Structure 1
Amino acid sequence: MPHKAKNLFSLARGKVRASWNPRNLYNLYKKTDFLRDEKTLFQKKWASKRELRAYHGEHIREGTLTTQIPKKLQGVVLPLGDDVTSEGIMANRFDDQMLEFDAEGNKKLKTPFAMQTFVHLEKRLDFAVFRSMFAASIRQAGQFIRQGNVTVNGVKIKHASYTLKPGDLISVKPEKVLFAAGKAKPSVEEAVKIDNRQIKKYNQYIKKCNDDPEKMWNVRLDKIKKREAGKLMDPKTQMQLQKANEVAFQAMLARLRELCSAAIFEDLITGRDEFLKTQTDDTKVLGEKLLKLIDQQFPANGADPVAPTAEGFLTPEAVIELLNERSTKLAQEAETKAEAAVEGSAEQKKAETVRSNANHLIEQRNKNMAGIGSKKLEFAIHPKDINHVSSIESPHTKNIVSSCLISRKAEFAGVEERKVVYAARCLIQEMKTNVADSIHDSYNEHQQKLLNPSVQDTEVNPRWLQLLGPLREKIDAAEAAENEAEVAQEFPWQKKHLYGRQDISKPYFTPWRFRPFISPSVIYPHHIEVDFTTCSAVYLRDPVARPGMSEVISPFPLINHEFANLYYIKK
């Protein structure tokens, strides 16, 4: 039978236990050096033994533990020369207690054999259940075992001192693991007290919202912005944003790779007004000019091209003049931005580049129109346009697109026909640029939504006040004790149940949460492989000592284990 628990977590005694109790953190924090120089050797051994016994097997009788202490401590020693470590690494990772010098004067890592003093305890079933993080303490692990909630290799074991062998499979009932690692279930009185406190604060909030809705709406928006900004700093959120950004970026590249003049030309001819409705104002103007130019040169009914003397006839020179005016306006705006920007800044350089490109386009268009009949000018043909033209089904559309985009200069009847084709090419190229810019803009808009997902209206939403509802009545503790299912109300922060008692049949907090202050006490063992999805673990092997480390988990340094080992091997 284990010792009775008598004030195990006393803050006055300050002993550190093998438990997840938060008082251990305070006791470990205030722990002072109990191996002072003025103590005798026996006092140091006794003090070390006293502190270590509080953590290692405090529920086992002293006589039983003393007989089980191994007389020879075993460890793993690396081959000669492999355990010599550079001084730079050792200076950052290890203190002087873990360093020693060999016969040649080389500094090397010490193998902490003394930490193997309590290695036999790690072979016990209750210690293995605790190390596997299936129980909150050694005593609770023993309780689970004695109640028949633990099996070894499929066989129910009810002895906490059962010695494990390498390869043994340990399984614990999941309900017991949830109980051990979960937050404590509050009583009805505690839950009512917390809920009433929350109801009081919620009623105060509703009164403030009704008195000054605009102010409270702005406070709400500020909280949302701060919360979203905090989420962006979370590493997991940053990883998700990077993945979403990569997906959107690859989608943008795929759309740009598929983009070609022939596809836009076909959509314009077949869709006409429907296609132009989906475009920007600038693209609509260009598309209308292109349609008029094409209808003049390639009538749909098979008639002859429209004569230049007809009313409202659009000449290629007028198209080039329109494009030049558009480029001139763009150059002037860029020049204004460059003058207003700081000298040598990125904004000034970008504006100057835009102005230079616009002026170059004007010069190039005028030069090409002047030399349209010379032998030097040749229409460039893009492979994407050739591939797309072959997939066009309509003969009329295919004739227009192929004539304007993939026909050679020699295939045209005269200079005027070449001018029409060149003007059409200039228009479709500008439309393609606008479509590419819209793809870039949609990608940038997607980026802004990722970084600012909760952009809301600054005006007060009247439905917001309606959703807050009326003032809530406090819960009566006496009525809740008799029938808590009827007394519980529907709150914005929880469904129709009392605080932490969503499922009253469970012995732990529901909806389930981790117990507080659990993370500092959870240490993953080297010698056990744990699977939390099935609440099972495999005892791989006995813990060993290696140069610079020991697989026996302990909150105390090596010097304490050395004195404790000296105490136990005195005979």
Structure 2
Amino acid sequence: MPRKLDNVSRMVRGHIGMSMNRLNLFNLQRKTPLNYVGKTLYQQKWAAKSETRAYHGEHLKEKRFKKVLFEPELKTYSQLDASLRSQEVAPTPITLQTYATLEKRLEFALFRSMFASSVRQARQFIMGGYVKVNGVVIKHPSFPLKSGDVFSVDPERVLYALGKAKPSLSKAINIDNKQIRYWNHYVKVARKNPQKVWEMQQNKPESLNSIANIEAKKRLQDKQNNGESVMKLQQQKVSKKSILGDIINLGNAAGANLNADTFEKYGSKLAKSKCLQVYENLTSQKSGILNDHSAKALDTYFSKDTERTPEEKTSLRHVNNLLRELEKCEWERIRLEFENLSTGGSFYDPSYTEKLNPVKSLNKEELMEDESKVKVSLPWQKHLYGRQDTSKPYFTPWTPRGFLGAFAILPSHIEISFDTCHAVYLRDPVARPGHSEVISPFPEHVHERAYMYYIKKGMS
């Protein structure tokens, strides 16, 4: 029988366990090398044994490990290549093989293959009948694997082991209501000051998550592709007629306070002066377009069939030249904004706030009685947080558990296929010059003292 599950994640002593728990990663980060100063040899061996046994088979009783599982003869690999006889060969870390005998157990092989998040969870999968060896269901966690054995795990169990934890219904509703509050606040602020919010959103700092950065770059590429079509649409909207209509609206609204700053919309000082020249030209000619600048009136103003005096023709020619220059300036401004997007900047689309709609909060009491009534309409989520498929025991849509990458260490003696959740046990792990196939967070000198402890206690 294994040990009782008592405080597996040892935060007080800081022991590292064979688990993907985030507390193990914290313990590993803060771990300091064993200090042998002032300790007797036995104390050194005891400290090394305590540290290594907390990781290698902590669920196994000490008496069973010493009397049954411990093997004094450690397996190694001899370098017999004659070409290396005259060269320096790295020493073989043979004492790292102290716990190699555990690696052939089925429960350990499952954890090493990343089919379970801990050895204890691997035991649960095995005893639950979810594991097969050579096509036969095995319910013994201590089953010894041999070279060439093929073992497999139910894919649903693997998704459960490596996936993010599924939130409860109450927790999911609370999270979604919080998301809705933040979204509604964002919509309110964006509608009030769209350009400022757009720039803040585009200038976010790079994420520490490499996967998120890859996805962000992909979204940026999509934005660039979409931005090109947006640029063309923006440029198509800009014409001499639209510019003239804007100038007349702004000039009429300014009244007696008319000056170049009235046309701030057109940015540069030169463009604003040209807008002022257009409006003053129309005023001096006492053109009727100032009072009636509808689409039909603008078409008539630019029509060649309209009868005009020589002075009116000269004025129209001058206005046409100014509007043509303003049109080119606006096209160039839009193009530069698009180029800013291609270098990681922001292409401002003033119409983006029209697509933002506030969302109604969820009624927790009503949804706790019947989850099927849930209707979430957030832009990035159409279901309860983490409960897209309520029949699954893990977070849906499936999301890898936190800090999974820190534990993604694949062994040399096992060939793994994550597509089918199968693995082949190639051979027992051995030690080679400068390398041991037994994965351990502890250096060789710690394993050396642990081996010295067991070689005496185990043989007595």
- State the TM-score bracket (shorter-chain normalisation): 0.5 to 0.7
Q: Structure 1 residues 542 and 489, CA, compared in 2 at 3 Å: closer, same or farther? A: same
Q: 1:67-78 counterparts in 2 under 5 A?
A: 67=67, 68-78=69-79
CA-CA distance at 1:237 after TM superposition: 6.8
1:547 partnered with 2:433: yes
Q: Which residue of 1 aligns with 2:46?
A: 46
Where 2:89 maps in the other structure, the secondary structure is strand
Q: Which residue of 1 aligns with 2:276?
A: none
1:177 partnered with 2:178: no
CA-CA distance at 1:219 after TM superposition: 3.8
For residues 502-552 of structure 1, the C-alpha deviation after alignment (integer angstroms, 9 at most, x for no partner) is 001000000001000111112110000000000000000110000001001
Q: 1:117-266 counterparts in 2 under 5 A?
A: 117-220=98-201, 222-223=202-203
Where 2:411 maps in the other structure, the secondary structure is coil
Q: Which residue of 2 aligns with 1:521?
A: 407
For residues 139-174 of structure 1, the C-alpha deviation after alignment (integer angstroms, 9 at most, x for no partner) is 000100000000000000000000001000011000
1:476 to 363, 368, 376: 363
Q: Which residue of 1 aligns with 2:15?
A: 15
Q: Which residue of 1 aligns with 2:354?
A: 466
1:452 to 342, 362, 367: 342
1:508 to 381, 389, 394: 394
CA contact (8 A) 2:199 2:346 kept: no
Q: What RMSD over aligned residues (CA atoms) do the two structures have, in Å?
A: 3.0
Q: Which residue of 1 aligns with 2:310?
A: none
CA-CA distance at 1:450 after TM superposition: 13
Q: 1:297-446 counterparts in 2 under 5 A?
A: none
What TM-score, normalized by structure 1, do the two folds share?
A: 0.55
Q: Structure 1 residues 225 and 548, CA, compared in 2 at 3 Å: closer, same or farther? A: closer
| AA of the residue aligned to 1:487 | V
| AA of the residue aligned to 1:466 | E
CA contact (8 A) 1:83 1:547 kept: no
CA-CA distance at 1:123 after TM superposition: 0.4
Structure 1: gaps (5+ residues): 85-103, 242-444
Partners in 2 of 1:133 and 1:76 — Cα distance?
Answer: 26
Q: Which residue of 1 aligns with 2:381?
A: 494
List structure 1 runs of 4+ shifted beyond 3 angstroms. 80-84, 217-220, 222-227, 230-238, 448-451, 453-459
Structure 2: gaps (5+ residues): 222-334
Aligned length: 337
Q: Structure 1 residues 235 and 491, CA, compared in 2 at 3 Å: closer, same or farther? A: closer
Partners in 2 of 1:560 and 1:232 — Cα distance?
Answer: 38
Partners in 2 of 1:232 and 1:139 — Cα distance?
Answer: 31
CA contact (8 A) 1:149 1:172 kept: yes
1:560 partnered with 2:446: yes
CA contact (8 A) 1:185 1:510 kept: yes
* Identity rate, percent: 47
CA-CA distance at 1:6 after TM superposition: 0.6
Pair member with larger Rg: 1
Partners in 1 of 2:341 and 2:350 — Cα distance?
Answer: 23
| AA of the residue aligned to 2:381 | Q
Q: 1:30-45 counterparts in 2 under 5 A?
A: 30-45=30-45
| AA of the residue aligned to 1:485 | S
Partners in 2 of 1:483 and 1:135 — Cα distance?
Answer: 33
Partners in 2 of 1:57 and 1:233 — Cα distance?
Answer: 38
Q: Structure 1 residues 457 and 23, CA, compared in 2 at 3 Å: closer, same or farther? A: closer
CA contact (8 A) 2:340 2:347 kept: no
| AA of the residue aligned to 2:163 | G
Partners in 1 of 2:428 and 2:368 — Cα distance?
Answer: 51
Q: Structure 1 residues 517 and 458, CA, compared in 2 at 3 Å: closer, same or farther? A: closer
Where 1:108 maps in the other structure, the secondary structure is coil
CA contact (8 A) 1:35 1:47 kept: no
Q: Structure 1 residues 473 and 458, CA, compared in 2 at 3 Å: closer, same or farther? A: closer
CA contact (8 A) 2:128 2:139 kept: yes
Where 1:117 maps in the other structure, the secondary structure is helix
Q: Which residue of 1 aligns with 2:95?
A: 114
Q: Structure 1 residues 83 and 7, CA, compared in 2 at 3 Å: closer, same or farther? A: farther
CA contact (8 A) 1:130 1:137 kept: yes
| AA of the residue aligned to 1:476 | N
Where 2:401 maps in the other structure, the secondary structure is coil
Partners in 1 of 2:407 and 2:350 — Cα distance?
Answer: 47
Partners in 2 of 1:36 and 1:59 — Cα distance?
Answer: 27
Q: Structure 1 residues 37 and 192, CA, compared in 2 at 3 Å: closer, same or farther? A: same
